[in-house]
Chains A and B, each alone.
Chain A
Amino acid sequence: MDEIREAVLEYVIDEYVDEDDDIEVDADTALISSGIVDSFSMVSLKAFLETKYDIKIPDEDATPEAFDTVASIVKIVEKHRN
């Protein structure tokens, strides 16, 4: 689980945070409701998870609420890996 959290966190920071943003992102930082990740860009995050972990996340699970923190994203990945 820690490994997934680190991988997702690294992807989110690399993909969505600009160098001059002065935003600190950890596993509990709100991503979508705070505007760091917009719902439009959430699609690329979902594609990353599906490719990296060889899973399929159904649309009903890919909600802005479920994708709002790295911690909640990890739960979705865990759920579909099992």
Chain B
Amino acid sequence: MAYSTATRQAFADDIATIKEKGLFKEKRFICSPQAAEIEVEYPEGAAREKVLNFCANNYLGFSSHPEVAKAAHAGLDSRGFGMSSVRFICGTQDIHRELQDKVSVFLGMEDTLLFPSCMDANAGVFEAVMGQGDVIIADRLIHASLIDGIRLCSAEYDTFKHMDMKHLRKKLELHQDKRRRLIVTDGVFSMDGDLCPLDELCDLADEFDTMVLVDDSHASGFIGKTGRGVHEHFGVMDRVDLITTTFGKALGGASGGCVSGRSELVELCRQKARPYLFSNSLSPVIVSATIKVIDLLSSSTELRDRLEANTGRFREGMTAAGLNIRPGVTPIVPVMLYNAKLANDMARDMYAEGIYVIGFFFPVVPEGQARIRVQLSAAHENEHIDKCVAAFKRVGEKYGILGLDKKGIIEKYGK
């Protein structure tokens, strides 16, 4: 038997090590549709609890939106469940083309190519457009999927300090001898919720004849006055060369992603990107539902406006309650606790209060930067937000951290 007792034990030891380090991911089961209010079985086997969800990427509430669900049903009826093919053999329907065209218009780009996920878009885009003699210069805190994609590409790569434009300038000066340069950044950084200063970044890109790629997964649909993304927020919609984004967060929440940008670059992805060439087409069900999402967002800013209002209400409430949140404007609100155990303990107590949030600590965030990351949704009602703030206030009081700044919390609990 190839899977011997010793082999089994060795793998079991690996799992035990993960547990000893406190990095084991527990199973949590949601027994309802994804929404502001959900039913959760946690720990496994425990009775189901109704809790308010403050940790989903369901920014606009589309995950269970009735019109989106209706469009998904209509897509299932008219185009079937699956394509049983990659795109370029017999996996492209008219609705795939329709969604690509609509995403291009929505993002203000020349062309768009769908991928099974944004993870796949990021895995494929670099190898398709960059090669030997080129350099990719990335922000240090970009998403893991971008890092994986860059590693698959033969171009040289370098990094700059998080959102530090002076450091980026140094790196651009250093790499002037390269054939092509590409700056890579997240639009909104998922752990801190901060916005990349794309206007300054595009100025540098122009000055140093460099292309720009933005992963706008935590922005598409709600950042910017009409929700087009961080490039709209900073008034640089025509100056970004490539955007990768997901349909798995604000734009529906199921799955799927895309590369959108200059037509030649997108065409090269169509010809060369391996996750596009070697994995199945996006299901017609998801394509139909995402078309509806884009249509809804193109006709009204109501949901992104509500999300903005909810974000403001939560941020103000938390600040007034004395919690130490990272300032910002996005619906990603890190409640800074610095100490991993404190983050874990407080998240557990929040669950007991009926609020579903998660503690994040090293290696997901740098050591000494532990936090509870709260994510707002347009689906939250005012009473949900007020209940969450009140729960944080009670739990924060229990741990004696209300009114304490970074120094105060670290003095009390350590890093």
Contact = CB atoms under 8 A, between A and B. Distances in A.
Contacts of A1: none
Interface of A: 15-16, 18, 34-36, 38, 40-41, 43-44, 47
B161 interface: yes
A15 B164 CA distance: 11
B45 interface: no
Contacts of A34: 367
B158 interface: yes
Interface in B149-166: 157-159, 161-162, 164
Nearest to B410: A22
Interface in B134-148: 138, 140, 147
B362 interface: yes
Interface string B353-366: 00000000011001
B362 A38 contact: no
Interface string B361-401: 01100110000000000000000000000000000000000
A61 to B, nearest CB: 19
Q: Which 9 A-B pairs have the closest CB atoms?
A: A35-B366, A35-B367, A41-B159, A44-B158, A40-B147, A34-B367, A44-B159, A35-B362, A41-B140
A40 B367 contact: no
B161 A40 contact: no
Contacts of B162: 18
A40 B159 contact: yes
B157 A43 contact: yes
Contacts of A15: 161
Interface of A is mostly: loop
B400 to A, nearest CB: 22
A3 B352 CA distance: 56
11 contacts: A16-B161, A18-B164, A34-B367, A35-B362, A35-B367, A38-B140, A40-B138, A40-B140, A40-B147, A43-B159, A47-B158
Contacts of A40: 138, 140, 147, 159
Contacts of B159: 40-41, 43-44
Given A36-B366, A40-B159, 11 more contacts: A15-B161, A16-B161, A18-B161, A18-B164, A35-B367, A38-B140, A40-B138, A40-B140, A41-B140, A43-B157, A44-B158
A22 B295 CA distance: 48
Contacts of A43: 157-159
B126 to A, nearest CB: 13
Contacts of B157: 43
B280 to A, nearest CB: 30
A47 B174 CA distance: 12
Nearest to A17: B161
Contacts of B138: 40
A18 B366 CA distance: 13
A34 B369 CA distance: 12
Contacts of A41: 140, 159
Nearest to A44: B158
A35 B158 contact: no
A77 to B, nearest CB: 20
Contacts of B147: 40
A64 B317 CA distance: 43
Nearest to B151: A40
A71 B109 CA distance: 49
B363 to A, nearest CB: 7
Nearest to A16: B161
B223 to A, nearest CB: 25
A42 to B, nearest CB: 10
A75 to B, nearest CB: 24
A16 B158 CA distance: 13
A69 to B, nearest CB: 15
